[in-house]
Amino acid sequence: PDKCTCLLQTVKCQNQGLDEIPPSIPTTTKVLFVTGNSISRISEASFPSRLDLLTDLYLSGNKMEHVDAVAFKNLPNLTKLDLSDNRIQSFSNSSFPGDNKLQFLNLSGSLNNHNLTDEVLSLFHSAKLLNLTTLDLSNNYLVTLPDGVFSSLSSLATLNLRNSSLLTIHNLTLPLLRDLDLRNNSMRDLPPTTLADFSLNPDLHIQLAGNPWHCNCFIEDLLAWLKNSTQVVDVQNLTCSDPEAFRHRRLLQVEPSKLKCYTDMESVLETSYLFLGLVLALIGVIFLLVLYLNKKGIRRWMHNIRDACRDHMEGYHYRYEINCDPRLTNLSINSDV
């Protein structure tokens, strides 16, 4: 095809400003790269003829927004699909054929509209991705995951959720899952139900570093689990984010007996003290600013005070000399007469 290069059974159409999949892709193609272009939509018309030999399809960095129904109908043997670094807003549940052979799906950096994320993730419920073993959802704005979102992915072995702003994770019962990457999210603790799910799968390897763990009494279950489990491969890199007394301390070095929990009243008082401190600091800044802006007037006022004090002291000193010297006293009396 125009603007593409072919080498054996690999076709590359990269960074050519294309707005659609090039027509006339050779039927002998096994690996197809159409990356770094401006293809906003993949539809049934994108692959009008069957490509029975195509197994690997790379469509990253195309500013893609929509994947329509039966978009991959003519790719019956597709096993690897890379849709990373796009802007996907809709992904039809029927985009893949019912007997698809997809094993690897990369959606890294493509789901950044949180309002549409649940709609796109519903793909995993109803697309019949029974052969999918690797799913990459890293670098997305997920925050939370719908209950049982991966429950239909019965063959899933590797799940990458790194750097996806996740607050927590639960209902993750996937018996074949072997690698779970949860690094660099926003998780402050893990609920006991999640820890129980992890324990049911002893062959699972988990990565948890880079999360802002909140080291108070609510993290005791996590600490106990970490000390008794060998599933977390980067356990030595887990550190407390707060409170200040535990900041940067390794979780394995935290003694549960020293963990504290604040009651509601203590939390309110702590917030009140913080607010009072901020108000006082603001008043101090305003006072210093007023002094700075009115420094000439203040200097003049200080000079007046100094002159008044000096006149007062000179008068007091003169009267003192008169009282102490009889000659001056008599002179003063004669002057009065």
Reported as a pLDDT band with limits 50, 70 and 90, residue 289 is confident
Reported as a pLDDT band with limits 50, 70 and 90, residue 304 is confident
In this structure, are residues 210 and 241 in contact, taking their beta carbons and an 8 Å threshold?
Answer: no
Helix (H, G, I), strand (E, B) or coil at 224: helix
As a whole number, the mean pLDDT across the chain is 87
Does pLDDT of 337 surpass 50? no
Whole-structure pTM value: 0.76
Residue 275, pLDDT score:
76
Reported as a pLDDT band with limits 50, 70 and 90, residue 146 is confident
Does pLDDT of 183 surpass 90? yes
Task: Tell me the pLDDT tens digit for each residue of 203-233.
Answer: 999 999 999 999 998 899 999 999 999 999 9
CATH 3.80.10.10 fits 5-186, yes or no: yes
Residue 134, pLDDT score:
98
Reported as a pLDDT band with limits 50, 70 and 90, residue 313 is low
